[in-house]
Copies of this chain bind each other. A is one copy, B any other.
């Protein structure tokens, strides 16, 4: 019997045993949201590529405005108007100004923009500036945002909409991203029937195929559901073989009874090695991690709530390890609404319902006895009761992790 691991030992082991998959593919940037960058993104140009006004107003030479005021405007000659998207041919010399719209190019000789609100057009070709500006006022200089060579997005970043915008700004219209992971999903158990069938005596519906498929997709990978496999070692071995032929990792869920757990272990050992069997956590203790052909094979608990927690806590980090993704998770501080009890030396994870009231977030723990649907449906996240904690009192602030 292999030693049960703590959650921290599992995360360490994942990093030791599995390395990011090499290679990647080019995709159009505008379709790359959710994909993981396989290279750093470096700016190749100045953004913006010219000095721009940040307001509607008049481009001026700042020193021509020094000392002016409402009662003593600086009177400048209007030598033209900058047009959006046009090359600027206007020259602004001493005591001259040029109208410029927000985002428009500031003529080279000008060094500041006076906001239109602080100017007066006298209609005779001259403009009064009512408030002095210093050099650089209301301007963005060429390259102020990004200069060539700057690393704007790092390898391992899962691209978000805001990053897609940044890529467009730099004119980077295709990006090199990691291929989507293919994750095989196998449900095992003689008691399982497809979700669309009506259970007979002693039968239950296969929840994990649909649950894990959705969770794998939400994590950015491509699920491959292999269906329900009966508790026969040969059938499971064949299914694992097929899964390994086409996928980057395999999730086998079910087999919560002793015999089936052993079958999962044996088929993994036959083809590769077991890295551990059992995590010191609740729920999720009977988790198995193996390695076959350098690919991870995970044995998940059959109980859907437990399988889902293990998915969130270990399978997603394992997937991230394979894509090299730096996923960043930030907990929500929430006030626990009920006391929760001790947990006998194992880290315990509890789902919660969250609600906001008066600027605060409250978490109601979902009790695990009636665990199946209620601990999943409509819930938002979970918190952890540490292994050496005797319980947490109502009113305590806890770190709630939202489901990915």
Contact = CB atoms under 8 A, between A and B. Distances in A.
Interface in A186-242: 189-192, 195-211, 213-215, 217-218, 231
A164 B168 CA distance: 35
11 contacts: A30-B213, A47-B373, A49-B199, A84-B202, A101-B259, A103-B204, A165-B373, A166-B376, A168-B195, A171-B199, A330-B332
A153 B208 CA distance: 18
B144 A369 contact: yes
Nearest to A189: B84
A92 interface: no
Interface stretch (A14-22, A63-71, A154-162): A154-162
Nearest to A197: B171
Interface string A118-148: 0000000000000000000000100011100
Contacts of A378: 152-154, 157, 163, 166
Nearest to A257: B101
Given A84-B191, A144-B370, A145-B372, 18 more contacts: A48-B372, A50-B201, A56-B258, A84-B190, A105-B202, A140-B370, A145-B371, A153-B378, A157-B378, A161-B217, A162-B376, A165-B211, A165-B214, A165-B308, A166-B377, A168-B205, A171-B197, A332-B332
Closest 6 CB pairs of A and B: A165-B211, A101-B257, A166-B377, A161-B214, A85-B191, A87-B201
Interface in A245-280: 256-259
A308 to B, nearest CB: 6
Contacts of A47: 372-373
A374 interface: yes
A353 B317 CA distance: 22
B170 A373 contact: yes
Contacts of A214: 30, 33, 160-161, 164-165
Given A207-B165, A257-B104, A302-B103, A202 B370 contact: no
B202 A50 contact: yes
A276 to B, nearest CB: 20
A395 interface: no
Interface of A: 29-30, 33, 43, 47-50, 56, 82-88, 101-105, 116, 140, 144-146, 152-154, 157, 160-171, 173, 189-192, 195-211, 213-215, 217-218, 231, 256-259, 302-304, 308, 328, 330-334, 354, 356, 359, 361, 369-374, 376-380, 399-400, 402-403
B377 A202 contact: no
Nearest to A378: B153
B218 A33 contact: yes
A161 B103 CA distance: 44
A205 B101 contact: no
Contact of A165 (B163, B231, B304, B369): B304
B103 A191 contact: yes
B332 A331 contact: yes
A316 B304 CA distance: 32
A183 B258 CA distance: 53
A373 B165 CA distance: 8
Given A204-B103, A214-B30, A257-B104, A192 B85 contact: yes
